[in-house]
Amino acid sequence: MKTKIIITIVLLTLLAGRGFSQFSITKGNSGLDIDGYIITEYEKEFYPSGTTDMHNNKFTLGYAVLKFKGVSNRDLRYETEIDFSGLAANPDNATMSIGDDFVKQFWVEYRGLKNVCDIKFGLNKVPFSHSSLTGEHNMIFLQRAYMIRNAFNRRDIGVTLHRSLWYKKINIYAGAYTGMGGLSLGGDNDASGNLEYVGRIEFSYPEKYKDKSEADLVHLPTPVFTMGANARYTEKSINTGKDLITMVDGKKTGIGGDINLKWEGLNINLEFDQFKIQPHATSPVNLENKQTDYYRTGGVVCMANYYFACIRSAFGVRYDEYNLNDLAIGDRQKDVCYAYNFFFNGWKSVFKIQYYQILKDPNTQALWTNNQIRIGYQFMF
């Protein structure tokens, strides 16, 4: 049976491998691209013996994204991106709801202020963390590192200013956002009404900073080195008691950095992100009864992979370490992920396998999740 399933998956992906994609409409200096991508995966979690609830063993529609990308009169750009996998079903009461990620991007950018900056308004990725800014369809792993998914808001509504220098080898971003992440779509800010401020600077050499994908599919003969540094700050008054890390009742200051190298099929990414969280005195959550008014959260992501052009395959390994609270003993997770990708047609059609292994901290109080394997297929249309 297992063999039949494997052969079926491989044959289906072979059939889809030659699919051609993306369509456009143009008139004068304006145009509209219609495209998207689907990532479907099977997830199997290795539960401890005796477990009766194994609800995570399932097929998942990871992403079902439809995008409209347009340009109006050369200098005005816009993008809408809807992820239909964000229509989440609740199996307990058989109802559907709209998740925070249903609307992924809705923005307009004006690039007409030459030698000043580009201005982007709307819902967009916050310019923080190389791993976060990499699109899921350009990743060799089926899931981002835990820290990237849980330590900060990846998207928000606001305004972003962008300036390129030295033929785009240097990019500078600065932005102000509601600071509520996906909840910003609800229309209201928190009680404080404060915004979140984010800045990022990127440097690339000898090429311009263009490609944030996780694999070197063309085997660049000249190595391309990129690095980025970013910071963010906000002070919120959240009293929901929910999500104490991505949004906190207090001040949250974050810094991070990333280094990346692509060369001859090799791709290396190193990233660290650290956040200092100062809860309001009225709700000193997570201070673990210590004589301090702040705690830190953050970690590192280290990834390396190699693309073998002759077999159209990439093999990768990723080490993630995330400390949820530096004041709490054992509140640290480490894991190693292994990935295999077979590229039928570049990133357009990819078969992906990811094995996720938890490295137990001797002081860990509770295992956050179990080892798991994910097998998926990505198709971009």
On whether the CB atoms of residues 118 and 109 are closer than 8 A, the answer is: yes
Q: Is 1 in the site for another protein (CB under 8 A)?
A: no
Q: Is 115 in the site for another protein (CB under 8 A)?
A: no
Beta strands in 238-331 (DSSP E): 250-263, 266-279, 295-308, 313-323
Query: At 109, is the secondary structure helix, strand, or coil?
Result: strand
Nearest to 156 by CA among 191, 121, 194, 130: 121
Q: Is 29 in the site for another protein (CB under 8 A)?
A: yes
Q: Is 8 in the site for another protein (CB under 8 A)?
A: no
- Per-residue interface string for the shown chain with another protein, residues 274-313, x marking contact by CB under 8 A: -----------------------------------xxxxx
Nearer Cβ to another protein (23/84)? 23
Using a 10 angstrom Cβ sphere, with 0-12 exposed, 13-18 middle and 19 or more buried, the burial of residue 310 is exposed
Continuous segment of H or E residues that includes residue 201? strand 196-205
Q: Is 207 in the site for another protein (CB under 8 A)?
A: yes
236 strand-pairing partners: 250
270 strand-pairing partners: 259, 302
Q: Is 31 in the site for another protein (CB under 8 A)?
A: yes
Q: Which of 52, 95, 222, 291 binds another protein (CB under 8 A)?
A: 222
Q: Which of 48, 50, 91, 206 binds another protein (CB under 8 A)?
A: 206
What's the rounded Cα separation, in Å, for the pair 371 and 147? Answer: 17
What's the rounded Cα separation, in Å, for the pair 348 and 22? Answer: 10
Nearer Cβ to another protein (99/346)? 346
Q: Is 21 in the site for another protein (CB under 8 A)?
A: yes
**Which residues, numbered 144-173, are part of the site for another protein (CB under 8 A)?**
167-168
**Which residues, numbered 40-69, are part of the site for another protein (CB under 8 A)?**
69
Residue ranges that bind another protein, judged by CB under 8 A:
3, 6-7, 10, 20-24, 26, 28-29, 31, 33, 35, 69, 71, 74, 167-168, 206-208, 210, 217-222, 224, 309-313, 342, 345-346, 348
